[in-house]
Amino acid sequence: MAGSPTATNTTAPAGGVAGRLDSWKEIAAYLRHDIRTVQRWEACEGLPVHRHSHSQRSSVYAYTGELDQWWAGRESRPPVHAGSAALPPTAPGSLRRGLRAVLVAAAVIAGAWVTAVYQTPPPPLTTRPLTAADGVETQPDFSPDGTRIAYLWRKPGEPAPDIYVKSLDAGDPVPLTNTPKQWELLPTWSPDGKWIAYFGSRLGGTFLMVIPSSGGPERPVYPKPWNGAGGIAWTPDGSSIITPLAEGSEGLTSLHIVSLATGERHKLIQPPPDHSDAAPALSTDGHKLAFLRIGNFGILRRIHLATLSNDHRLSGEPVPLDLAGGGIETLSWIDGGKRLLYSECCSSSGSTSGFWTVSARGRRIAPRLLFPLPGAQALQGRLSPDGSRLAYWMVQASDTGFWRVPLGPGPGAETPAIELISSTATNLNIDISPDALSLAFASNRSGGLEIWTSNLDGSSPRRITNRPGEKSGTPRWSPDGSRIAFDGSTDGNADIFVTGASGGAPQRLTTHPAIDCNVSWSVDGHWFYFGSNRTGEFQIWKMPSTGGQEIQVTRNGGFGGVESPGGGYFYYSTQFRGGELRRVPAWGGREEILYPAILDVHGLRATPKGVYFLTPCQQCQNLETAHVFRRYRLPSGPVEEVARFRLTVRMGFAVAQNDSFAVINAIRHPANENVNIVLVDSLK
């Protein structure tokens, strides 16, 4: 057996980046195993290896911190293949350093301390709870002198949070607002420490507000509702605030700057169509602006850098940073504007959740993991002005799985749900095979979001795609059960793919730079339907299932849906969530409204008896009342009730073709009701 991997040398190879390994040979040498074994780990056990695509072949690279993190998890798992080599008894040296920080941070969040034994441990990051009250405490921001924080606290039983100010050393928190039925968001100190800016729900709208940091009456910065709450950045002189604003009906935001004294505003940057700009972060000199450009309905989140003039106007076009991650949430400048600190969590590319740093001096600079926080569903933090402390809050991810619900017990009767797939991973986008013996779904159990299949009861799971660094979702079986179509990201784009039901290299079917998603098959298997915004707004398109010319089906909006069993109509939703249920002839024509709103596009399926759907219901999502399963009886109605169940639906469902049962994608655990703020001291 090969010896234990030991991180004896983590310096960069010639021409490389510190902490990065730029070939299979270097990765194998770091892990002290042969190349074939390491490649098998990547294919079968989710070893975090990244790829750069080139015209002839792809090159690979890996980060030592991510390898160490993977190794820590692997030690607690049995080998995937019988007969594979036994696990080495010790982890790499750099793993010991990273793991210690993970354990300390995770212990604070969970309220339980874990003891580990290390050889010559380095000094760990000092981590301590900054708040510990019952309820949800989030969104901290440091005062300019670094001695206090402003934050949100939603007390138990109250529907909305208030803003509090607390000393980092001692003393009770002091409330600044007292509006338990109206929410506040993103409290942010002014550079002189006199004001705190935030968003507040007032008089039926959202307003950009300021309040004295010592207490007093609040006032709106801008006299009209500010439709957008995606970040606040003060200019260094405290005269203005940069923040996103949505100007159209689609809710897409662009960065605006508004004067604190006059309320005058103007647009700083115009994002491309179907994108939003948010999370602004301004350097201390006021000339470097970092922000997130968000596309594909929040899935694609890329950091962009822009330069501002002395009068806070844009100088030149924003430049994107070439980062693989898609789950970036908050940004902060460090090292005098030379680097950025950002939080990343629940990324579809499989990047480690935690806080990362990256140089702002070039587009292709490898990021560095400062410390990991695995299992985060939400993760946000703010740096102290001197960069020595970090205050953050984190929500642990809720496990998602699949439940079987019988159909047809009669109106008003609730039916018990039986869990099929149990795992601690995120499992999404279920589909039932035509013979009702297998499932296809998306899961991140191997790292990134890949397509998996299993038996109907969830046993014998098998990964059928291997697209590291990319997202794969919405799998749909072909009518004969031999192939699976899905949508997936490709170098920042969203396209349609198809692969064999047992795996194999996926075939990319669409290459348009627009978003192509929510694929489904025609009943004869000869066509794909999908939603695309290639005309500037989402419509339903179709194309041959072997590839070929795309044909537009709808003209008045469409996001995705299903063809009727007879093949004459296509039933679809006009929006991702809350859209109208409509139908249109399969080759286009008159578009009919059948129902005013359905839960989401993934909750729309057809059998010979009818088209199944759920309706939006927040009380149902909170388990206060039961979801009502509805069916539009084919060919022309009416809408009828077929089942009731209590689950927090995550992303749609699937229905067996014999109408006997449905499989629901739902959240296993309720949302976190106690969230506290953690302080990291002596940050470097």
Residues spanned by the domain of 539: 400-667
- On the question of pLDDT at 562 being above 80, the answer is yes
Residues 114 and 129 in one domain: no
Q: Is the dihedral of CA 325, 331, 332, 333 positive or negative?
A: positive
- On the question of pLDDT at 554 being above 60, the answer is yes
Cα torsion for 577, 579, 581, 583, to the nearest 10°?
A: -110
| Residues 226-277: tens digit of each pLDDT | 988 889 999 999 999 999 998 876 678 999 999 999 999 999 999 988 788 9
Residues 579 and 451 in one domain: yes
Where does the pLDDT of residue 575 fall: very low under 50, low under 70, confident under 90, or very high at 90 and above?
A: confident
Rounded Cα distance, 495 and 510, in Å: 5
State mean pLDDT over 29-54: 65
| Residues 278-320: tens digit of each pLDDT | 999 999 999 999 999 987 556 668 899 999 999 889 998 898 8
What is the percent of the chain where pLDDT is above 90? 48
Rounded Cα distance, 70 and 21, in Å: 15
Residues 498 and 383 in one domain: no
Min mean pLDDT across 56-70, 190-204, 360-374, 515-529 is at 56-70
Residues 102 and 131 in one domain: no
Residues 115 and 130 in one domain: no
Do 376 and 383 meet the contact criterion of CB atoms below 8 Å apart?
no
Residues 5 and 80 in one domain: yes
Residues 485 and 408 in one domain: yes
Of 334, 327, 333, 388, whose CA–CA distance to 354 is shortest? 327
| pLDDT at site 84 | 28
Domain count, the chain: 3
- Strand 560-563: give its sheet, edge to edge: 560-563, 569-573, 581-585, 592-595
Residues 566 and 634 in one domain: yes
State mean pLDDT over 533-539: 88
> Which of the pair, 622 or 51, is modelled with greater confidence?
622
Rounded Cα distance, 255 and 253, in Å: 7
Which CATH number do you get for residue 417?
Answer: 2.120.10.30
Residues 234 and 148 in one domain: yes
Residue where one domain finishes, among candidates 80, 101, 124: 124
Where does the pLDDT of residue 326 fall: very low under 50, low under 70, confident under 90, or very high at 90 and above?
A: low
| pLDDT at site 178 | 93
The count of C-alpha atoms lying within 13 angstroms of the C-alpha of 490, restricted to the half-sphere facing its C-beta, is: 19
State mean pLDDT over 656-680: 83
Strand partners, 419: 403
SS3 279: strand
State mean pLDDT over 559-570: 93
Where does the pLDDT of residue 408 fall: very low under 50, low under 70, confident under 90, or very high at 90 and above?
A: confident
Measured in Å, how far apart are the chain's first and last C-alpha atoms?
Answer: 39
| pLDDT at site 6 | 36
Helix (H) or strand (E) holding 37: helix 35-45
Residues 94 and 186 in one domain: no
| Residues 85-139: tens digit of each pLDDT | 222 333 333 333 333 333 333 333 333 222 222 233 334 567 888 998 888 999 9
| pLDDT at site 468 | 79
